[in-house]
Amino acid sequence: MSIEISHISKSFGDFQALNDVDLKIESGELVALLGPSGSGKTTLLRIIAGLETADAGSIYFHGEDATERDARKRGVGFVFQHYALFRHMSVFENIAFGLRVRPRKTRPSREVIREKVMELLRLVQLEGLEKRSPAQLSGGQRQRVALARALAVEPKVLLLDEPFGALDAQVRLELRRWLRRLHDELHMTSVFVTHDQEEALEVADRVVVMNKGKIEQVGTPNEVYDKPATPFVYNFLGSVNLFHGRVENGHAVIGNLQVAAPEHANRSETQAVGFVRPHEIDISRESTGTGSLQATVTHINAIGGMVRVELEQKDSREFISAEITRSRYNDLDLKVGDVVYVTPQNIRVFVEDYDFSI
Amino acid sequence: MSETRQLTRNTTEPLWVRVMLITLALVFVAILLVLPLVAVFQTAFQHGVKPYLAAINEKDALAAIKLTLLIAAIAVPLNLVFGVAAAWVLTKFDFKGKNVLSALIDLPFAISPVISGMIFVLLFGRTGVFGPWLIEHNIRIIFALPGMVLATVFVTFPFVARELVPLMQAQGREEEQAAVVLGASGWQTFWRVSLPNIRWGLLYATILCNARAMGEFGAVSVVSGHISGLNNTIPLQVELLYDDYDFSGAFALASILAMLGVVTLILKKLLEWRAGIKADV
């Protein structure tokens, strides 16, 4: 089932959680809502589920207006960050709940419910634990029970609020891969909220990057990582270096570095910031003229396949973080205090008329 | 072993301080709690078991016991429903005036029970706000059972809500929301999710509410008519007998209330122990 969100706004008192948000989620997609806390991602998810009412705007499920539809009639599965399992019920009863509360006419028989629950337990790999109480399960197991409970009512949409947020790193990694496989098996439209960019980029078909109640960018993981639409996305997805300078006549000038910035060709002289990822910075012993900046090595971290080098730019004293391969590092024979030249391989220039705080 | 000893010594007070504090506490408990309790039973049984049973079997005493039970049987279920509804509304929904409602629930705790009784006299008494209308329709509230039930309900109103609000607040709203998304109606959500989650707290609150309902003196005293055998509850009858110098009668009835108190405490402890085990799992 496709979901269309149209001009949704929502505020809590003075706090504007969502500001005129538009988004279309295709049927069968796995979409991540990614953003820092307070960006409105959870509010958007809860509005889709009907747990929160939008102040303005509409929601369409499969082209039908569902804005006023009651949460219990939306046919969505919702997985809460802290599981929200029914604490006084066994695992079995938790999963069976959605079927048991159906009106008599559509309620399956005892045997059918039992079969269904057992099948779901197999799916979430918790066979044999149906008699346990939620308190007797680990965090990862509880989350899988919560997922099974949501799937029991055969929802057309699965919504997950920070599903792995409360788990430790190892379990997190396992569960998110498992979620991806599960989605590929069931092909259910799924939306999950996360503040972990790695999680979003690894699991989702498409990533929706949110900030301050607005959508900054929607795209595949590759698109948002390689072609960030805004400075915010650039900064939020992975680490990044900032070079302060100016643009004039389609060129960005940062210290004695000059790069072409054709997207700003129509601008007269304006303050600008260049964004470069650490792995897009090359270090050399010789200057390449207007293509490089002089800098001093301040710290070297040579653990693992990539070597992280921290440098200080000579003119502006700005901090630069670079990642080079180990063989390149060995060729250069770098030591702390060396004066070298850094060359940004791929620089993205934004003029300074945005609000850059996260 | 020596390490623990060292640690204990460093973190506790000297022996004489501990002995002094413990003795002080025990002496206070003995004088203020144990001694009076023993005295109640001792005075009640001072002429033996037979006069004790006779004093309880007396017509007016039986009437007082029956009336007390009747009032509690009406007031406690009413407050159970009110209290659960109030706690449910306060913890699971957001609305304007929520803080006012929350403060109002505490009102009966804040004002003297005698004043609570007076309020009902002022409202429903002969010269009260609704007095003339009530007389016209031949309805008696003050100096009758309805007034005593009203006063008891008023005084014991906060017990259930105050017990449940922190509990329900701690449990949050997510389980209810999970139930709703799974298709449960409001009624199903309440009976299958909310109520089972608060059952121990509810039982605990009921016991406390009941003890207070049976023991209430001030408010009920104002709205009762003190007519022995008709509208005297146990506490009122105790006062009446005591004023008539019928000490063994007074103390025999008092011992019933005292026993109720002891049973309440034991039940309360048992429930806490039970709930503690639950929470540990």
Give A51-94 as a DSSP string. SS--SEEEEEETTEE-TT--GGGS-EEEE-TT----TTS-HHHH
* pLDDT greater at residue B83 or residue A265: B83
Average pLDDT over residues A104-114: 92
- Is the predicted pLDDT of residue B257 greater than 90, yes or no? no
Report how far residue B242's alpha carbon sits from residue A109's, in angstroms, rounded to the nearest whole number.
66
The residue in chain A having the minimum alpha-carbon distance to the alpha carbon of residue B194 is A86
Q: DSSP for A20-63?
A: EEEEEE-TT-EEEEE--TTSSHHHHHHHHHTSS--SEEEEEETT
Q: What is the pLDDT of residues B190-210, one digit of tens each?
A: 999 999 999 888 888 888 888
> pLDDT at position B28, please?
92
Q: What is the pLDDT of residue A50?
A: 92
Calculated CA dihedral for residues A107, A109, A111, A112, nearest 10 degrees: -40
pLDDT digits (tens, 9 = 90+) for A156-213: 899 999 988 878 888 888 888 888 988 988 889 999 999 988 899 999 999 999 999 9
Span A298-309, average pLDDT:
89
Q: Are B52 and B252 in contact (CB under 8 A)?
A: yes
- Compute the count of residue pairs across chains A and B with CB atoms less than 8 Å apart: 66
pLDDT digits (tens, 9 = 90+) for B25-72: 999 999 988 898 888 888 888 888 887 888 778 888 888 888 888 888
Mean pLDDT value of segment A111-125: 92
B103: CB partners within 8 A, 6+ apart? none
DSSP A231-272: HHHHHHSS--EEEEEEEETTEEEETTEEEE-GGGTT--SEEE
- Rounded to an integer, the average pLDDT of B218-227 is 78
CB count, 10 Å around CB of B235? 21
Q: Which of A72, A82, A85 is facing B180, going by the closest CB pair?
A: A72
The pLDDT > 70 percentage for chain B reads 93
Closest-CA distance, A159 to chain B, in angstroms, reads: 11
pLDDT of residue A91: 95
Contact: A101, B197; criterion CB under 8 Å: no
Residue among B180, B181, B197 whose CB faces A88 most closely: B197
Q: Is the pLDDT of residue B215 over 90?
A: no
**pLDDT category, A35, cuts 50, 70, 90?**
very high
Burial of A169 (0-12, 13-18, 19+ CB in 10 A): exposed
Whether the per-residue pLDDT at B99 is higher than 50: the answer is yes
Distance from A262 to chain B by nearest Cα, in Å?
51
**pLDDT bracket for residue A244 (50, 70, 90):** confident
pLDDT at A205: 94
Are B74 and B216 spatial neighbours (Cβ–Cβ below 8 Å)? no
Q: Do A71 and B180 touch (CB under 8 A)?
A: yes
At B276 the pLDDT is 66
The pairing of strands A157-161 and A76-79 is parallel
For residue A4, pLDDT over 90 is answered with yes
pLDDT in tens, B139-193: 777 777 888 888 888 888 888 998 899 899 888 889 999 999 999 998 999 999 9
Cα pseudo-dihedral A338, A341, A347, A350, rounded to 10? 80
pTM confidence score: 0.78
Mutate to test the interface with B, among A88, A99, A120, A142 (most CBs of B within 10 A): A88
* A152/chain B closest Cα distance in angstroms: 9
3-state secondary structure of A304: coil
Residue range A49-57: mean pLDDT, rounded: 92
Whether residue A355 has pLDDT greater than 60: no
Mean pLDDT value across residues A106-129: 92
More confident residue, A135 or B51: A135
Q: Report the DSSP pairing between strands A157-161 and A15-25.
A: unpaired
